[in-house]
Amino acid sequence: GIGTTNPGSILDIGSNTLAAQARINVNAAANQQTGISFASAGTVGWFMYRPVSSTNLRFWDGTADVVTFQVGGNVGIGTTAPTAPLDIWRSTATNAIPMLSIRSDVNTLGDYSMIRFGEQSQTTYQKGAIIYAGQDANTRGKFHFALEDTADGTNVDLTDAKMTIQYDGNVGIGT
């Protein structure tokens, strides 16, 4: 144990003072990468590292870099050069496997999942949404495209739907 008299694992780092920070500092020469390996029986399964060529933080899964965090906040899944806050890339198209899966328990009438769009605040002025609302125990449902139209901090919700696509293919606009 480092900074503790009662370690709970093989390596336990702790601090009981407000001035100290409990952290691990991995520091290498300018021409060397720094990282931490996660292995089982001597085989590295994951490697978290900063490459020599950049200040990014990357996760390697034993075969390739799979996640990259760039300085400035962009995150890449499947790419080491994300060009947006979240950039997802796959080298081969696989029709049966989605690129992004947003899931929740929508197998009850009235339950829904939502992607909101809006101003930078996380709590107000979210004026647009794509909503999937469950209709039955088989998770069949409806897609709603919603826009909240007041000039205030009210957020969009299911009652603001402007277009609905039902699971049978019927489309309602403005109804």
List the chain pLDDT tens, one digit each, 175 residues: 787 788 887 777 776 666 666 677 888 888 999 999 988 888 889 999 999 989 999 999 999 999 999 999 999 999 999 999 999 998 877 777 788 888 888 888 888 999 999 887 667 889 999 999 988 888 889 999 999 999 988 999 999 999 999 999 999 998 7
User: For the chain, what percentages of helix, strand and coil (3-state, to nearest 5) are there?
Assistant: 0, 35, 65
| DSSP class per residue in 47-66 | EEEE-TT-S-EEEE-SSSEE
Neighbours of 1 (CB within 10 A): 13
- Left if phi > 0, otherwise alpha if psi is -120 to 50, otherwise beta: which for 114? beta
HSE, side-chain direction, 13 A CA sphere, residue 86 = 2
- CA 14 distance to own-chain centroid: 29
| 82 C-beta neighbours (distance < 10 Å), count | 22
Q: What is the pLDDT of residue 19?
A: 62
Q: Tell me how far apart the alpha carbons of residues 95 and 106 are, in angstroms, rounded to a whole number.
A: 24
- pLDDT score, position 22: 67
pTM of the model: 0.72
> What's the pLDDT at 98?
81
Q: In this structure, are residues 117 and 129 in contact, taking their beta carbons and an 8 Å threshold?
A: yes
Q: What pLDDT is recorded for position 162?
A: 97
